[in-house]
């Protein structure tokens, strides 16, 4: 599953979408994608929103004791690049 979900068009709603996706989908099946069709600024905006909200979710879950810091880093790294590297044989 890619977690682009129209990121550049959702603004702050991205946080809730990411939270739901993380709750339902196995972490090793998630891929980041910018979903920035068209102008390059949409790719940039999508990356900013993804980084901002995945970090906030991870901070919340670490604070709540659901993850430790190493687990949070591992999941974010997997979604951001490691899963795609594995899937497409890029590692």
Residue predicted with more confidence, 8 or 49: 49
Highest mean pLDDT among 13-17, 42-46, 48-52, 62-66: 62-66
CA 26, 72, 41, 88 dihedral sign is negative
The fraction of the chain above a pLDDT of 90, given in percent, is 56
Task: Please give the residue that has the higher pLDDT: either 43 or 80.
Answer: 80
C-alpha to C-alpha distance for 45 and 41, rounded to whole angstroms: 6
Decide if 1 contacts 29 (C-beta within 8 A): yes
Let me know: does 2 contact 29? Beta carbons within 8 Å.
no
């Amino acid at each position: 599953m890619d977690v682009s979900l129209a990121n550049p068009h959702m603004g702050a709603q991205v946080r809730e979408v990411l939270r739901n996706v993380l709750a339902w989908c196995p972490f090793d099946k998630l891929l980041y994608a910018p979903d920035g069709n068209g102008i390059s600024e949409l790719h940039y905006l999508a990356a900013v929103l993804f980084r901002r909200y995945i970090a906030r979710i991870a901070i919340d879950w670490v604070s709540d004791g659901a993850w430790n810091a190493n687990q949070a880093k591992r999941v974010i790294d997997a979604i951001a690049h490691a899963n795609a590297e594995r899937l497409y044989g890029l590692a």
